[in-house]
Structure 1
């Protein structure tokens, strides 16, 4: 049986595109890699490269002191990990869960692990499968720091940067949710922009270079405005929220003139108008952060 401190072996549960990328990186690093997937057949290429294909999840976790889980969500993870035979096989071992879900689910899983003598770290993968094993990969981790440090040599086989965000187990998932919120909101905005542009006879390729320019503007804005959000100052000296609301109204009018749904922008404009109505018209757009928090507290 592999000892808890053995740095030569690892088990990967879940062989979707990301799970296969993780397992491949472990193999490339020369680690003895055991793999298992609920749907048979996805391990063929990995086994051909030297991985051990386990016949069951309990056999897989028993093969290594460290098990890395990467499945679609925590419901899928629970369906595997909380089976009696698997739970028993994991006792005294470590699980690093790189499955995406909510901070609350991370905390409940950590509590379950502690009840059953399983060491637990939660994590998030912030970059695509193509980055795994390269310097461009980005991983976030949370949980006991000593446990993280003990398994860092194996995790380093995945490449890129690894950041331990603290011992509170939900922090990695919280960062993941917040960052994905930025990404998917931006992608929804881009999709809407392309629809409006196309309605005006502008192709996606024609718009793309200018859209990239807008993206470049955002990076420094995020950094500069973060300090104001934390301080609660929300200066609108350069661009007050009244100006933002006016721009949004133009977008809504142009969109709906072409029969394009403007629901997302209407929601954003509504937040801006409510913030103005509360007497913050000269503040910056991110004043709505407090409005959103106020809605949560009052709900």
Structure 2
């Protein structure tokens, strides 16, 4: 199949390369010259203009720096895009994705918004996910081609959902890595190197995965039975983390941050509830 890739930063280059590796014809374009040379050497077609690139393929993938760059580039190309499918893999917000979908629909353009759950070296592996939301017809038509980038996950017709998941999952990543860094620093202060601690930490994350599966139905039901570990028990363990960090002269802001919602929930009389009870505090209105 002919596929066009607009934007050849490190991610766009990886996307175009994956299409080539899968045997597709890739037409590429980048605003600044020179970034397409390695891809052209591998067999990609160089387009002189963005309009030429769009006109070369029924499937157009765009991966630029931000939402403004996408609209600046594609706004004048509505005639060329009409009747084609646009897959926007540029990072953005759910609101921006919905606005783009509405713009595309008004011009007869099939639209999918996507989130790449990987860094460029992972592109092309079925082990990584690419999340898509938007036109179900466009997804069904192009799923096989998109699968060469990574496992394509369809999140439905609301174009904003892929970005919503992306934002939520990145939040999970940062929280997990922050906890890992605290653990590396804590154990490292007593002479354990990061490579020794990390395999045990990875094994522990498997147990954490089961906790999420246990707590998800409690959150959906709004019922929080503390039959595994209560908030009071968690609070006591957090005190140990805070003490151990402070005793070793480490930055204790993360343990302090984690401790605050437990203290508030216990003070409100929920000490016998499960960890899932803390969702009520997250959902409560907070000043910006």
Q: Taking structure 1 as the reference length, what is the TM-score of the superposition?
A: 0.88
Q: Is 1:48 the equivalent of 2:74?
A: no
Q: 1:46-95, CA deviations, whole angstroms, 9 ceiling, x for partnerless residues?
A: 1001101223322222221211122343233334223x2x3443233221
Q: Which residue of 1 aligns with 2:221?
A: 231
Q: 1:171-213, CA deviations, whole angstroms, 9 ceiling, x for partnerless residues?
A: 1111111222111110111112212222232211221222122
Question: Structure 2 CA distance, aligned partners of 1:274 and 1:58?
Answer: 57
Question: Structure 2 CA distance, aligned partners of 1:209 and 1:154?
Answer: 36
Q: Which residue of 2 aligns with 1:147?
A: 138
Question: Structure 2 CA distance, aligned partners of 1:32 and 1:76?
Answer: 25
Q: Which residue of 1 aligns with 2:240?
A: 250
Give the alignment partner of residue 202 of structure 1, picking from 192, 216, 230: 192
Q: 1:235 to 1:199 in 2, by over 3 A?
A: same
Cα distance, 1:12 vs. partner?
A: 0.7
Gaps of 5+ in 1: 1-7
Q: Is 1:124 the equivalent of 2:115?
A: yes
Q: Which residue of 1 aligns with 2:86?
A: 95
Question: Structure 1 CA distance, aligned partners of 2:252 and 2:54?
Answer: 49
Aligned residues: 288
The residue correspondences of 1:131-142 to structure 2 (distance < 5 A) are 131-142=122-133
Question: Structure 2 CA distance, aligned partners of 1:39 and 1:197?
Answer: 47
Gaps of 5+ in 2: none
Q: 1:246-294, CA deviations, whole angstroms, 9 ceiling, x for partnerless residues?
A: 2222222222333322222222211111122222111111211121112
Q: Which residue of 2 aligns with 1:3?
A: none
Question: Structure 2 CA distance, aligned partners of 1:242 and 1:218?
Answer: 19
Q: 1:73 to 1:185 in 2, by over 3 A?
A: farther
Q: Is 1:163 the equivalent of 2:156?
A: no
Q: Taking structure 2 as the reference length, what is the TM-score of the superposition?
A: 0.91
Question: Structure 1 CA distance, aligned partners of 2:68 and 2:242?
Answer: 39
Q: Which residue of 2 aligns with 1:28?
A: 21
Question: Structure 2 CA distance, aligned partners of 1:204 and 1:194?
Answer: 6
Counterpart secondary structure, 2:148: helix
Q: Is 1:263 the equivalent of 2:256?
A: no
Q: 1:1-25, CA deviations, whole angstroms, 9 ceiling, x for partnerless residues?
A: xxxxxxx211111222322221112
Counterpart secondary structure, 1:95: strand
Question: Structure 2 CA distance, aligned partners of 1:233 and 1:41?
Answer: 58
